[in-house]
Amino acid sequence: MAIYPAIGRKWLSRSLSTLLSNPLRVCVVGTGPAGFYTAEKMLKAHQEAEVDIIDRLPTPFGLVRSGVAPDHPETKIVINQFSRVAKHERCSFFGNVTLGSSVSLWELRELYNVVVLAYGAESDRFLGIPGEDLKGIYSAREFVWWYNGHPDCRNLYPDLKSTDSAVIVGQGNVALDVARILLRPTAELATTDISSHALTALEESSIRKVYLVGRRGPVQAAFTTKELREILGIKNLHIGIQGADLHRTPADEEELNNNRIQKRVYELLSKAASSGSSQPNPCQRELHFVFFSKPDRFLESDDSSGHVAGVHLEKTVLEGVSPGKRIAVGTGQFEDRPCGMVLKSIGYKSVPVDGLPFDHQKGVVPNIRGRVFSDISIDPALCENGLYVCGWLKRGPTGIIATNHYCAEETVASILEDLEQGVIGSTSSSSKPGREGLHQLLNDRNVRFATFSDWEKIDNEEKRRGSSSSKPREKLICWEELLKFAT
């Protein structure tokens, strides 16, 4: 996993006269923040670089489009910056191009001097407990993609009518996002870019109680203050927190003293616990924070329908001598939490492709400062020259959008070092066909790729549809429809 030393910004502004005089052909796979920041910094750092960014979707922007909650429009403003990058005269977008089927990693490395993989994490971690395959259990990623109109999850159809209770396993920002979408008044969501099918389902939802389950305590909760403050501020929402869970040990005190963010999160939770009523009134929706609990198994409905009916939870305690590094272990005490829906928010997982070294235990590509190695031992002799990573594939599924800014800066600095030292970009660089070669290869395979101009057609159509209902956009959610408007 990459380590982040201080990066000298001089790398990104220094004269590159000693580097390639021929065009440097660069391909970035993935158009989320990691991909676009990499493209932007590469274009600025090397005046002869031609950068192509490819994505398996016909739409760019990755999780900014499909992961950011619809009621967080301010977070999506970064799309304007990314659009300027895509319109740069030395940059091209190839959408609807899938690494591994449309084009192989080996072929990209033959076509380009530099290949940067920044396609993120599009799969999910598993709990590995009995009942995980029951109906009514979804990953938070699927649910987020569903309400954000991702074409892969338009047919998810989560059942929000048959139960009044949902359990969310996990206590990070994504868990808070999905809880907020389930509990927020739909009138407040109606003016966002939430997909219409999701808005309709939420308007008809019977869910009134959401339980956020975490292995550790409020001192270790992984949310940020902004996200927590927002959900605590939902009108007419009862907040349930057990007073005993707020008890602090000396190790907790030390942990809070060493982390200002965690201290503020704990203070917000304590205030919410003390300021609300002990019992909800009948017209309130409810959000319950369930600390020191871990799922042991999922319970099946008695009618043998194969549907989830609850979660069998084991109480936990924290063990370990080092504050901040204590782990949750089971106590052998159990309780059942009835529910008809479960959302697992336990982390995203990256997926390897053929020809890509991968550390399955850590879920990342073995690398040092973005340079890919063919073995997890990180032996210098096994460096994959010309192949780099950025974003979640490089460091794991952690951080916010801005984290990718520094991550991309580090990877680009490694590329520039390798150029200067002659590790990549030798005299044979002119033989790399780059964009023209990719264009020809895709045409030969009848791959219908989308350009950035094609995306702008989709963008205009979505905004047109949204304007009729006072929404910023109404997303096209079918592959066929997306490709129809792209050409």
Q: What is the pLDDT of residues 191-250, one digit of tens each?
A: 999 999 999 999 999 999 999 999 999 999 999 999 999 999 999 999 999 999 999 999
Average pLDDT over residues 77-94: 97
Residue 348 has pLDDT above 90, yes or no: no
pLDDT at position 380: 78
- 324 compared with 441, residue with greater pLDDT: 441
Residue 2 has pLDDT above 80, yes or no: no
What count of Cα atoms within 13 Å lies in the side-chain half-sphere of residue 200? 5
In 3D space, the residue among 332, 334, 331 whose CA is nearest the CA of residue 299 turns out to be 334
Average pLDDT over residues 84-91: 97
pLDDT at position 8: 39
Cα-to-chain-centroid distance, residue 32: 9
Residue 261 has pLDDT above 50, yes or no: yes
Where does residue 83 rank: exposed (0-12), middle (13-18), buried (19+ CB within 10 A)? middle
Q: What percentage of the chain reaches a pLDDT higher than 90?
A: 78
Poorest-confidence range of 43-52, 115-124, 159-168, 374-383? Answer: 374-383
Q: How far apart are CA 237 and CA 208, in angstroms?
A: 10
pLDDT at position 4: 34
Average pLDDT over residues 119-126: 82
Phi, psi of 268 (to 5 degrees): -65, -40
Q: Model confidence over 274-301: pLDDT tens digits?
A: 887 778 888 899 999 999 999 999 999 9
Average pLDDT of the chain to the nearest whole number = 90
Residue 16 has pLDDT above 60, yes or no: no
Q: How far apart are CA 309 and CA 300, in angstroms?
A: 5
Name the most confidently modeled range: 154-168, 355-369, 390-404.
Answer: 154-168
